[in-house]
Amino acid sequence: MEELNEISAIITKHVSNDGFQATPIERVTLVRSSTVTMPMPNIYRPQLCLVVQGQKEVSLGDHIFRYAPGRYGVVTYDLPAIGHVIEATPDKPYLCLYLDFDPVMLGELASRVPPPPEVPSPPIGKTVSDASAGLLDATLRLLRLLDNPSALPVLAPLAEQEILYYLLAGPDGARMRHITSGQGRVAQVGRAIAWIGKNFRERFSIERLAAEVGMSPSSLHEHFRAVTAMTPLQFQKQLRLQDARSQMLIEDIDVATAALRVGYESASQFSREYRRHFGEPPSRDIARLRASPGLAVVA
> What digits encode the pLDDT tens for the residues 246-270?
899 889 899 999 999 999 999 999 9
Instruction: Return the pLDDT at 262.
Output: 96
Same fold, 2-180 and 234-296: no
Residue 117: predicted pLDDT: 65
Could you say which DSSP state residue 52 is in?
A: E
Question: How far is 174 from 152, CA to CA, in rounded Å?
Answer: 30
Contact yes or no for 31/156 (Cβ under 8 A) = no
pLDDT, position 144: 97
The fold of the 234-296 domain, in CATH, is Arc Repressor Mutant, subunit A (1.10.10)
> What's residue 11's pLDDT?
97
Backbone angles phi, psi at 220, to 5 degrees: -60, -45
Question: CA geometry: angle at 221 spanning 218 and 226, to 5°?
Answer: 130
Give the pLDDT of residue 223. 87
pTM for this prediction: 0.83
Per-residue confidence (pLDDT) for residue 289, from 0 to 100: 83
Class of domain 2-180: mainly beta
pLDDT of residue 26: 92
Q: What is the pLDDT of residue 299?
A: 65
Residues in the chain with pLDDT < 50?
Answer: 122
Helix (H) or strand (E) holding 243: helix 232-251
Tell me, what's the pLDDT at 173?
84
Domain locations in the chain as residue ranges: 2-180, 184-229, 234-296
